[in-house]
Structure formats: structure tokens, C-alpha cells
Structure 1
Amino acid sequence: MTDQLANGYDAVVIGGGAAGLNGALMLARARRSVLVIDAGAPRNAPAEGVHGLLAREGISPAELVERGREEVRGYGGHIISGTVVAATRDGADGTDAVADAETLGFTVELADGRTLRARRLLVTTGLVDELPDIAGLREQWGHNVIHCPYCHGWEVRDRAIGILGSGPMSVHQALLFRQWSPDVTYFAHHLPPTDEQAEQLAARGIPVVTGEVAALETADGNVVGVRLVDGTVVPRTAVAVASHMVARASFLAPLGLKAVDHPSGMGEHVPAVDPTGRTEVPGVWVAGNVTDMSAQVGASAAAGAMAGAMINADMVTEETDAAVAAYRARA
């Protein structure tokens, strides 16, 4: 591994989920000094298992992270707990390029006052799901209140599923969940379907319930129905809701990098400028849900691996340029 730089690393990975750990694994295997900073608040913590991940189907999110940490540490990577509050570029002049191959490009500040330095940053902090203010929704989130049919559809197959009209993709969500159950009901809430959407729902045998939703009815810790403000209760045993997704990225503001609204209207993300996860700020990459809101664990891990490889390649280019310059100076 490259000698660890004074008070810093070749790369600091901010976020310790699938994307961050796979990025760190690639960098550590490339003999780079790498540090992962994990705040310990994964988005998928309420879920019982990770699905759609080849050879790890059903593994608990906590076990997946722990295995990933062991693998990163096995190649010399470092992992610490902490919350990043600011990332800044080194140097008062605010230049966009690292001066030479031995110059650190960024300072990372943690909430507890610690600071770390790095030549490159990989941001994999994910996002936060903001849910409608409906009684019982948050308490059941990740169990009987779900969002992704590919993550949870099999587990609620053939059950009575309610779809809450809460976002621009809610009708699409209802049409997807119809693949897993013949008993799907769309609750218009504050988002009634358009005429075209109503026709689609009717054609697929999905009834539409009008009226505002007040709460979820539960019994023995399970959802048993959806209660409207007029007191009507529609029996349901699972509810799908489209959350408003917000990227965890406020610490990037000092770099001039911030989350923006996603074209889908589902929330905000930090955009990448190319498929490798490179951002508009030189030296900073993003991977996972912080940039790709719909990515499942496998896709997030793959994106982290790609970003890690490209970060190493970027540093190799920088080091080669410095070596060529030194070689010419000696000639």
C-alpha cells in the first residue's frame, strides 16, 4: 500500500454502506491508503434483509456491512465512526487542481472536531426518506410499509396492498405492485390520478379510493387497514408509499457542490457528470443513492467499485505527470 500521507489518506470515503465499502475495497486493493467515515445511520436499517443481491440474497443489512468492513480492513483500509460536517479544498487560493502527487487536496471536518485530509473524496452518504405525515406510517416503515417492489414485492406477494398517492411515481408504483398481487388498491389521498392514469389503473383491476388518508390501522404490530379522515377503514396488510428522497450532502457546500432536484420529481440528488461518478468538482466522486436514488444495494456496490477504480486511475495519471516532469527536469 502507498505510504499513508501525513494526517491524511489517498482517498477518504464518506459513507460506509455498500457503495462506500466497495469503493474503499477497490482502492485498498489498489494499494492506496483509504479511510471510510461512517455515521452509522443506514437508510435500509429497518429492513429485515437485502434482496436482489446475487449470492447474498436475504442477508441482513447489518451483516452485509460488517462483512464489507472486514474485507476492507483485510486489505489495510481504515474505518471510523463519525459524521462529516464540512469538506473543503486545501489552499486559500481555491485552485481546482492538486499541486503535485504528494499534495493533499481536501480537508474533511467531523462533528467531534477531528479533521482529516485526502487527495480524493468519494461521497456515498445515501439519502433520507421523508414520509407523509400520517399516523403509523413511520413506525411500520421497512416492515409493512414499503416503497420498492423489487426490494419487498416477493415478501408481500398475494397480500392486500395499498398504494398511497404521495409522489409523482405513485401510480407507476401501483402498476408495478400489481405484478406481485391481484389485490392492489390506490389511495388517492392528495394525489388523484389523471384521466389517463385512472384508465390504466382500471384496466389492471386496481380500484381508486378517494379522500384523505388519516392513519394506518394496526393490530399486534401489523398493518390491518388504512383509515380515511371520514372514519372509513379499508382493510390492507401492506402499504407502499413513495417517499420524498433527500440526499445527505450539506457538508459539500463549501466545495460549491450541492444536491439538486431530480428530474423525476422524487427528491434531490448530487449529480455526476459521467458514468464513473465524477462530479463537477475535480477530485470528488459520488456513488450509490446520494446520486442514483433508485439504485438497489447491488447497483450501489457496483457504482462504488467503478468510482474507486477511477479515483485510483486519476491519481495514477497525476503521479505519472509529476514523474514525467521530474524526469524531464533531470534530463
Structure 2
Amino acid sequence: MTQLKDSYDVVVIGGGAAGLNGALMLARSRRSVAVIDAGQPRNAPADAVHGLFAREGTPPAELIARGQEEVRSYGGGVFSGEVSDVVGSVGDFEVRLADGRTTRARRILVTAGVVDELPPVPGLAEQWGHGVVHCPYCHGWEVRDRAIGVLATGPMTVHQALLFRQLSDDVTVFSHEAALAPEEREKLAAVGIRIVEGQVTAVEQSAGTITGVRLADGTLVAREAIAVATRMVARAGFLTSLGLTPTEHPSGMGVHIPVEAMTGKTDVPGVWAAGNVTDMAAQVGPAAAAGAQAGAVINADLVMSDAASAVATYRDALAPASEAR
């Protein structure tokens, strides 16, 4: 097995769609690049990736395996490991892994993704990615025409309910602990979405299949699938030493790493970010595209840095001759 080298042009932290595509762009530009992945992909519970051109229905693990092989085919490295800390500055970062390994990098690309935090309702986590879903574009077709329950959790509830209404005539919103404004209630009623008041205490299931939603008063409302907007939290604790801290996303969906539009640059020189760690709603396709863009920008940044160093060396070489004259 290939060992992690002492240094690279770029270390990519996170081996999902964004990370692997960014690494692919860099490796094809003949940059030394290492992808370090903790092996905790956000879409691991899902059976397939959807909405991805020419790869519709591909199992997530298969897609990742293909991406890893593509990076390796151009000389890039892909390594299993959890990054615990990154220190240093542009041109000389040290990447520290939880198992004690270290490596250095001139530039860093952060593509570690997010963690989906589910409301603490029994039954949600057990069905996550199957009977419990969050994205109508990722899983909506698979729950079409079913009795869908939408658990109100925050500002995206009504938007989410309306999107799932496009896929089923039987959609119910459970107010749970959220307050729905009068205009929101009117909108839901106008399109035939029922609202059930009261706190949800459990998602009931039988033989691995959702059967209904249990309320605090004991009522069981029959449902076959549940949609819930998670709170998404960027995996970025390892950036603390660099002074790069995730901030609340303007949408209220969670916390992310802000970046410069189109380039993926963060506030820390030499560090870029792409994919869900910065764009929490991005599906696989947009995340991969953002990774490719960031990879290209990083390579261009290194090209300019190398050219500046070459100019300095060139001038130094000419200086003695000029002084002699």
C-alpha cells in the first residue's frame, strides 16, 4: 500500500465528490496531491446517487471507488485517515492525522462535507436515508405517491413540504415544536397539505418500514415516509488552529465555511473549500463541479507562485554578470 509522503503540493481533506474531482484536476495538472478521507460519507445510508448525469442510480460507494481509481491513475494519492489539525501558513502547512501521521502541503483544499443533525425523535435515525429523507431531488422519486409526513423543524419546512407535494397528493406537515406563520398555513392549505398540531414523540415502524407518526397525546397518524430538514454542520474542527471557524449559513440551515464565489477561497491564504462544507445544499453534481473549479484555481495559484520564484532565481543568476560589467 502506498504510504503518505512527507509533502505535497496540495492536500485535499475529504474524499467525496468535491474532494476527488478537485484532486483529479490537480493530478492531471501534474501536481503532487494527496486525498485524506475519514471514510464517513454523508450519503452512505443512501442506496443510490440520483440527479447525476450518466451515473443515475449508481451506489455511492461505487461512485467513490471509481473516483479514487481515477485520481490514482494520474499519480494522485488517496489515503484513509482522520485529520485532527492543520497548522502553518500558505506555502508550508502541516497536516496532522489522528493516528500520528503528518504531512506537509503548499496549499489545502477542504472538502470534508457536513454532518446531518436529526431532531431527537426516536425512529428518525434508524430510517435515515430510506424511509426518512430530506431532499426531494435525491429521494423524492423513491417515495412518490406515498403518504408523506413532513416534520416541521425550521425555516425550510414549508418549502420542503411544497416540493414533496409535487410528488404525492398525500402530504401532512407535523407542526412539532415549530411555529408556522399564518401565511405559511394558508399556502399549505391552498395546495391540499394537511397540518397536524402537537409534538411528535416517535416515528413508528414495523419490519423495517415506517407505519406512522406518534404524537404526544398518543395519536398515531399513518405515514409511509417522513421528510425532515436536518441541521447541517460543517466538518471543520481541524481548521481551528488556522483561525478558520464555520459560521451560521444565511439560510439558517446550519453552519458552513464561507468562501469567495467562483474560486472557493477561504479567509485563510492558501486554504480553499468546496462541496457541502461550504454549500450545504449541493448535490453530488454541483459538489463535484465546485471541487473541479477549486482544483483549477489552486493549480493556477501555484503556477503563479512558481513563476514568481523562478523570476527571483533568474534575477539572482543575472546579478553577478551585471555587477561584473
| Fold shared by both chains (TM-score > 0.5) | yes
CA contact under 8 A between 1:167 and 1:244: conserved in structure 2? no
Q: Which amino acid aligns with 1:314?
A: D
| Residue 144 (str. 1) matches residue 131 (str. 2) | yes
Query: 2:297 aligns to what?
Result: 310
Task: State the identity %.
Answer: 65
1:196-215 alignment to 2 at 5 Å? 196-215=183-202
SS in structure 2 at match of 1:119: strand
Q: Which amino acid aligns with 1:45?
A: A
Query: 1:297 aligns to what?
Result: 284
CA contact under 8 A between 1:107 and 1:115: conserved in structure 2? yes
SS in structure 2 at match of 1:218: strand
Q: Which amino acid aligns with 2:77?
A: H
Query: 1:275 aligns to what?
Result: 262
* Aligned with residue 113 of structure 1, among 94, 100, 104: 100
Distance 1:6 1:143 in 2: 40
1:2-81 alignment to 2 at 5 Å? 7-81=6-80
Distance 1:217 1:256 in 2: 44
Q: Which amino acid aligns with 1:320?
A: A
1:154-165 alignment to 2 at 5 Å? 154-165=141-152
Distance 2:154 2:212 in 1: 21
TM-score by length of 1: 0.94
Q: Which runs of 5+ in 2 are unaligned?
A: 319-325
Shift, 1:6, TM fit: 7.2
Shift, 1:328, TM fit: 2.1
User: CA offsets, 1:97-141, max 9 Å, x none?
Assistant: 53xxxxxx2000000011110000000000001111111000000
Distance 2:228 2:110 in 1: 27
Q: Which 4+ stretches in 1 moved above 4 angstroms? A: none
For these two proteins, the number of residue pairs brought into alignment is 315
CA contact under 8 A between 1:167 and 1:243: conserved in structure 2? no
SS in structure 2 at match of 1:251: helix
User: CA offsets, 1:5-38, max 9 Å, x none?
Assistant: 9710000000000000000000000001000000
* Aligned with residue 171 of structure 2, among 184, 196, 199: 184
User: CA offsets, 1:152-209, max 9 Å, x none?
Assistant: 1111111100000012101110011111111100000001310010010001100100
CA contact under 8 A between 1:192 and 1:210: conserved in structure 2? no
Distance 1:219 1:82 in 2: 37
Query: 1:226 aligns to what?
Result: 213
